[in-house]
Amino acid sequence: MPKEILLKYKGSAPRKRYLIIGASICFVVITLLIFFRFRVPGFIETNLAFTPTSTEILRPTMTPTSATENLTGLPNFQSPTKPTATETQISPTPTQTNVIFALDTPIGDEQFFVIHRVAEGETLQLFANKYHTSVEAITAINFDLIVPLWSNWLVIIPVNTTDVSELPLFEAHQVEEGKISIQDLANQLSASLEEMLRYNNLDVDYILKRGDWLLVPRKRPQP
């Protein structure tokens, strides 16, 4: 080979080697970039391409708090005020309220009774079964009872008991006045105030209303 050509070949060989190495490096870099682009989504955007500018910086905004919130964003709770004397007044003696004296409503305390208006076809045995008592017990406590029963007749029924030997006779009474004390009513009916209070479960100062139904105790006739 001529000397000139040999020298030219030797001079160009290193350049080719450097070009091959550089091309290999570029290929590897491009391959890695493609790999991370598809295998790690968002890598290029979040680590290489994202260059925040001053206009992209978010600044917190202050909003005024309402009157019911404090600086921490939590609601302000006002401390409870102490009740005044007028708010804590208690009656010196308990009074009975919402007392219902109606037909078919239990009346009493330790022993309960029901005042019932007889409907057509009803019998004493029917009442005895319904209120867990007996025909004899019902008959024994009614001051004025007609057998067989008449429609619209008032019957007093002891509830959950058949032993009425210690009880007086009873008759039913409906209050006609607008307001009347139990004491005044007992005087009008010539009845024992103590027994009316006991069997109707009332306080002596209770004021009766028009339409209230009460038990009026009567003495048993002497044998």
Q: How is domain 107-218 classified at the architecture level of CATH?
A: Roll (3.10)
Per-residue model confidence (pLDDT) at position 6: 47
Q: Per-residue pLDDT for 162 more than 50?
A: yes
pLDDT digits (tens, 9 = 90+) for 7-44: 454 555 666 677 788 778 878 878 777 776 666 555 44
Query: 3-state secondary structure string, 102-171?
Result: CCCCCEECCCEEEEEECCCCCCHHHHHHHCCCCHHHHHHHECCCCCCCCCCCEEEEECCCCCCCCCCEEE
